Structure 1
């Protein structure tokens, strides 16, 4: 299985609603399709760290439908997962996204600066 991840973060502010929007893209770089199995409706986890200390986790305080589902990614195709961190504190962080599939590991990181 040849999954490669890319994580992008976009900081936005205005009208009292500061947020960081994350987009995690998982690409199948292999020659065979990849079948991903998920045990709930959350397909990716997003974590924000400050020098290794966790400051935000997408799944904290959220509930997800408990349902088995699958997603197929053909060779040279991608799947994209999104999350939003509302009202972030100013600072420099590292964001980490991880695929929550039962099999098929994929992770990506990016630096984020919140003014």
Structure 2
């Protein structure tokens, strides 16, 4: 099993002037067989933002997710996409890390961005 992750951060400004950072975590199956992902709850990926190594934002912080087992299959050379949004970050330079929350399967990606 060969999963490859890619993380993108898109910084935009809403009509009301609020800054938004949209994260898109793409997981691609580079292997020859389908990959079955099993998730312990409705949250399929974690997103963490750090400033000089210090955590400043975590997607799951303060959120509750439905406690239901779910599964997803990624066929060979296909992708699955997971998204999160950070509202009103402070200006600065950051590193974001995304991690798949599937049982017994790992995939991570990171990217640097500025606000």
Gap runs ≥5 in structure 1: none
**SS across alignment from 1:105:** coil
**SS across alignment from 1:56:** strand
Tell me what 1:19 maps to. Answer: 20
Tell me what 1:88 maps to. Answer: 89
Cα distance in 1 for partners of 2:113, 2:48 equals: 12
Cα distance in 2 for partners of 1:93, 1:84 equals: 15
Cα distance in 2 for partners of 1:54, 1:45 equals: 13
Tell me what 1:70 maps to. Answer: 71
Number of aligned residues: 114
TM-score (norm 1): 0.97
Q: CA deviation at 1:16?
A: 2.4
Gap runs ≥5 in structure 2: none
Tell me what 1:60 maps to. Answer: 61
Q: Deviations over 1:40-92 (max 9, x none)?
A: 00000000000110000000010000000000000000000000000000000
Q: CA deviation at 1:18?
A: 1.0
Cα distance in 1 for partners of 2:3, 2:75 equals: 11
Q: CA deviation at 1:17?
A: 1.9
Cα distance in 2 for partners of 1:34, 1:103 equals: 11
Cα distance in 1 for partners of 2:90, 2:56 equals: 9
Cα distance in 2 for partners of 1:38, 1:78 equals: 17
